[in-house]
A and B are shown apart, each in its own frame.
Chain A
Amino acid sequence: MAINAQTQTKVETREPVINDFAFSVATKNGSGSQTSNNVLVMSLFQMGIPVNGKNLFPSNIKGLPTWYTIRASKDGYTARKALTEIVVAYNDGTATEDVANLPPGGVCITTDKIARVIRQRDDISYYQIPVAKLMRQTKVPSAFRKQVENMTYVGAVAQLFDIPLDLIYDVLLANFKGKVKVAAMNHNVVKLAYDWTADNIVKTDPYRFEYMDGADGKIMMTGNDAGALGAVFGGVNVVAWYPITPSTSFVDGIIGFRGLRQNDSQENTIAIVQAEDELAAAGIVVGAGWAGGRSLTSTSGPGISLMAEFAGLAYFAEIPAVFWNITRMGPSTGLPTRTSQGDLLFTHFLGHGDSRQICLLPGNLKEAFEFGWKSFDISEDLQTPVFVVSDLDLGMNNWLSDPFDYPDKPISRGKVLDANALQEFIDEHGKWGRYMDVDGDGIAYRTLPGTDHRFAAYFARGTGHDEMAVYSERSDDWVENMTRLRLKMDTARDMLPQPIIDNGSGADIGIITFGTNEDAIREARDWLANDGIKTNYLRVRALPLASSVSDFIDAHKSVFVIENNFDGQLTQLIRLEHPENVSHVRPLALGDGLPMTPDWIYDSLKEQEG
């Protein structure tokens, strides 16, 4: 597609910067800016530019300040940057601060009204859009005018940085699910601002977008949608949940993809129940898992807190169920719309007594999908709850990714005995007991309710029981059971997703992390390498920790554990599990509510190492 909208008024004063800069869009929450921001991100994606959009939003319906950062990177770096070169300052309440944050040579796009009240800088470019005047020229009905107003910055940005108008129309049409009238109404405003900018603004900055092939064959999606799609391909069939940010869109995703699993009569193979609270949601998935369902709930910190008792029961009664924890900032209600990795220890040890839960830790979109389906197999194979610990950043933001791989393993239901298999088991072993470990891996055989065999029934309970599932308060029964559960967790270590390790450089410094910090770390490592500081890398993908983690620790003189929480929780866990020789393991823990930046990692590591 040719870009022929260049105008005579543009003056390029510096070397052009193409496809390698970041935006921050500052608006008021509830003003409809989410659509505008999505349109910009999706347009850049359609232009083939590696891009990432992150919504840094308040816990509020309307009025509080909200920021959206968009980073385009020809080199494929999509972490959030500490500084953005361009700000769209559409919120009078934060405009002064937003402008102050710009680096020299930056760009401020704002409204003529806001421009009058902010302190000007002489080292940046200002572009003022007469929003009110433009909106008066549109035929947008007054009821929609406020919502559509933000399309003026889309038009200005498109003109200033070369995003084709007809591409924006296509993206709008897709955004509004093919509704031509709504798309046209929005696009008219975009065009008006685009034309006005062309006629009235002299471009004095070097930033520009160009078509490239960096997104060829890639997809864009949120982590919650990816996890939900994974669950649908993993055979989820009972979902129970209670709405809570940032996990709500996970179940919305399952509802959206549920059609992939309907039969010809549009009947469902997935039951979805909005429960009265997280306690009930947990109870429903535990009950379903016990009865042979592939069950899932999705929640966040406060919900996980409420689910603790059921998590302990399911661990001890050995019932499969999948729990997604889309982590937000705690403790307590905390920062409900801000990302965090602060639930790692709580989730891993969820439940009172000596319980230890399996955690899967997706770090990107592909893993959200993969763990989405795999979690059910792991949960049924190990007969234990599986917690997929994601976060708000992955869950709610759009991420660029290679397309997902179709599951490479058939569905596994674990050690389940039907009536015939039960008879064979009894013939071989003389009897069957729900918690008999005949394979020596800590995993017993279970029967499902409804199995037509006179010895199939057992009584599931959270109270002490022997291997026949009979109530027991005997110390030897208790210790035997707990010993077997520990053996089961050791069996799990090798069955779980193993760490991603980059051990190539022969470095003395090792970096350990988990989850969504990878993009920022990758970029920071490249910067460090440019400075001559070599690093190796290990990303943990599951708990309990794999044995390769201790090998990695032993192989490096200095190990930094980078995590987005306040207390360095993965560091604590490493010290707990590998108490020998960990004096050289140090946390780089931030926990400020925002997705990690390469800048912070680079600076902190240099400071510590220096």
Chain B
Amino acid sequence: MPPRTNHLGLARNEYKGRPSTLCPGCGHDSISNQLISMAYELGLEQHKIIKMSGIGCSSKTPAYFLGGSHGFNALHGRMPSVATGALLANKELSCIAVSGDGDTGSIGMGQFKHVIRRNVPFVYIIENNGVYGLTKGQFSATADEGQFLKYYGTNHMPPIDLALEAVIAGCTFVARSFSGDAKQVQALLQAAVRHPGTSVLDIISPCVTFNNAATSTKSYPYGKDHEIPLHEIQILAPDYVEERDEITIEDYDEGDIIDVEMHDGSFIRLKKLDNDHDPRNRRMAMEILERSMREQIFSTGLIYYEEPRPTLADTEELVDRPLALLDDADLRPPKSALDKVMQSLMAG
């Protein structure tokens, strides 16, 4: 039997990258797998995607998915600026970026905040495990206060909540998830990739080597026992109208379903679970993040959404054609233009 293919006629295998060199069982590999599935399911054209990353375990992963996409493993904490430049040079590219809690929460905090401020349209995934893996187990800035690790003992500093930082910076799509919750990660990725603005996904992704004790809030056992999804999430693409009709769910009362309409006409359908969270409400988003941090509640799902502001390419008022593809005539004014400037600078 031939393998199942998507509407481009491609099998899922064709969206894979090179074999992972991360530790077996690493949460990051699950996320790479979801990225492969997302691109396959949505039938994305790989040559129109760029993969960007900084430095760290997480930042190695773009080599492990979408082998048909150009990728750039940049500098520690500086991925956002490199992605900004690439997307300015060619605004028709889609961008999936992978960072970690060290790459974003410490060395890269400035670029993280500013890329959001400029609303560069890309998916910014933070594979958050609370620990520095490549340098063998130091605390990261997202580690819990009071946590104990072999390398440094007890962490006495409060954590930085990167989802909260994203909301404060003006991010219009903020989600938190757990790499062990494949279904939710998949749904959030499918929504994020449609969002014409910076989408931040803070995904708790356990480090099986340095930070996987059940007492750590960034571990598999903890995540599996404590994850509290805010909603069930379903993505309704604009071209899947008939499927939408099928989703009339008698089990849910009116008001228990929130349909978040996205910019491209698709919907994020959120079926409420045991809470009242509405991701379209900024105050609620900040409240739930504050409370989650304070009380160490592992709430996951779409935390915050709003209609995106103009992107950086919009505010730059660029020509339609990608700058990288401009003709020589667009890049060099004629001789008469230079002569005119020279004339204006001459005496007399």
Contact = CB atoms under 8 A, between A and B. Distances in A.
B326 A269 contact: yes
A577 interface: no
A457 B70 contact: yes
Interface in B297-348: 312-313, 316-320, 322-326, 328, 330-333, 335, 337-339, 341-342, 345-348
Contacts of B85: 238, 240, 283-291, 293, 295
B342 A269 contact: no
A332 interface: no
Interface stretch (B35-43, B71-79, B287-295): B71-79
Name the interface size band of chain A: 35 or more
Contacts of B75: 283, 309-310, 313, 462
A404 B342 contact: yes
Nearest to A373: B332
Contacts of A313: 74-75
A192 interface: no
A404 B337 CA distance: 12
A458 interface: yes
A263 interface: yes
Interface residues of B, number: 63
Contacts of B328: 235, 410-411
B237 interface: no
A411 B332 contact: yes
A541 interface: no
B267 to A, nearest CB: 29
B46 interface: yes
B92 interface: yes
Contacts of B82: 283-284, 286-287, 290
A280 B47 contact: no
Contacts of A310: 75, 78
A456 interface: yes
A406 B338 contact: yes
Nearest to A294: B331
Interface string B40-79: 0000011110101000000000110001111111110010
Contacts of A233: 332-333, 338
Interface string A431-455: 0000000000000000111111110
Interface stretch (A270-278, A322-330, A597-605): A270-278
A168 B63 CA distance: 66
Contacts, number: 231
A218 to B, nearest CB: 7
Contacts of A215: 347
A112 to B, nearest CB: 35
A459 B73 contact: yes
Interface in B82-126: 82-90, 92-93, 110-111, 114, 118
A232 B114 contact: no
A287 B72 contact: yes
Contacts of B93: 291, 449-450
A284 B46 CA distance: 23
B118 A217 contact: no
Nearest to B95: A449
B114 to A, nearest CB: 4
A390 B101 CA distance: 40
Contact of A291 (B74, B78, B89): B89
A288 B346 contact: no
A450 B111 contact: no
B72 A292 contact: no
Given A257-B341, A289-B89, A291-B86, 9 more contacts: A233-B338, A280-B81, A283-B82, A287-B89, A291-B90, A410-B328, A450-B47, A457-B67, A460-B72
27 contacts: A233-B338, A235-B331, A235-B332, A237-B331, A240-B84, A257-B341, A260-B337, A268-B318, A280-B110, A283-B74, A283-B80, A283-B81, A287-B74, A287-B81, A287-B84, A287-B88, A289-B85, A290-B85, A290-B86, A292-B89, A293-B90, A313-B74, A449-B47, A449-B50, A450-B92, A457-B47, A460-B73
Interface of A: 45-48, 215-221, 229, 232-235, 237-238, 240, 257, 260-261, 263, 266-269, 271-273, 275-277, 279-295, 309-310, 313, 373, 403-404, 406-407, 410-411, 447-454, 456-463, 470-471
